[in-house]
Chains A and B, each alone.
Chain A
Amino acid sequence: MTNTKAIIIKDLCKEYYKKDSSQKSFWSKLKGNKGGQPFYALKDINLEINRGEVIGIIGPNGAGKSTLLKILAEVTPPTAGSVEIFGKVASILQVGIGFQQELTGYENIFLSGNIYGLKRNIIESKFDSIVDMFGFPDFLHTPVKYYSSGMYMRLAFAVIANIDADIYLLDEVLSVGDLNFRDKVLNMISKMSGKGKTILIVTHAPDTIYAYCDKIAILNKAQILKFGKPQNCIAKYNLLAYENAEKQNLTINRNIENNKTIIDNNLSKHFQTHSAEVINTDTYFQGNELELEVKFTKSSNIKFRISYIIKDELNKPIAEIKSNITIKDSGNYKYKAFVPTRLLNNFNYLVDIFVYAETKLCVIYPKALSFKLTNKNKDSSFCMLEFNDFKCELLKESNN
Chain B
Amino acid sequence: MEHKLISPKNKMSLHSYLKLIWDYRYFSHSLAIGEIKNKYARTFTGLFLSVIQTLIGLAVYWLIFGIAIKIDTGDIPYPVFALPGIIVWQYFSYLVGNSSGALTNSEHLINKLYFPRINLTLAKVLPGLIDFGSGFLVFIVIFLSFGVSFSISWLAIPLVVIVLIICGLALGLWTSILSLYIRDLSQIIIQVTNFLIFVTPVFYPGTIVPDNFRFILYLNPVAGIIEYFRAILFGNALPDNGYLIGFAIITVLFVSAIFVYKRIEKQITDLL
Contacts and interface: CB of A to CB of B under 8 A. Distances in A.
A329 B34 CA distance: 75
Contacts of B112: 75, 91, 93-94, 97
Nearest to B4: A85
Contacts of B3: 84-86
A100 B113 contact: no
A71 B6 contact: yes
A390 interface: no
Interface in B136-180: none
A84 B110 contact: no
Contacts of B267: 77
Contacts of B114: 73-75, 89, 91
A102 B33 CA distance: 12
A263 interface: no
Interface string A113-143: 0111101100000000000000000000001
Interface in A60-102: 70-89, 91, 93-94, 97-98, 100-102
Interface string B1-13: 1111111101000
Interface residues of A, number: 47
B27 A76 contact: no
A87 B1 CA distance: 5
A82 B7 CA distance: 4
A3 B108 CA distance: 35
B15 interface: no
Contacts, number: 118
B28 to A, nearest CB: 10
A106 to B, nearest CB: 11
Contact of A110 (B6, B30, B183, B270): B30
A107 interface: yes
Nearest to B29: A114
B26 interface: yes
B177 to A, nearest CB: 11
A77 B8 contact: yes
Interface stretch (B36-44, B89-97, B213-221, B226-234): B36-44
Given A3-B1, A102-B38, A114 B27 contact: yes
Nearest to A171: B112
A23 interface: yes
A66 to B, nearest CB: 10
Interface in B27-68: 27, 29-31, 33-34, 37-38, 41-42
17 contacts: A23-B183, A29-B271, A71-B6, A75-B114, A78-B6, A84-B3, A86-B2, A86-B4, A87-B2, A97-B113, A98-B109, A102-B41, A103-B34, A107-B34, A114-B27, A114-B29, A143-B41
Interface of A: 1, 3, 16, 23, 26, 29-30, 70-89, 91, 93-94, 97-98, 100-103, 107, 110-111, 114-117, 119-120, 143, 166
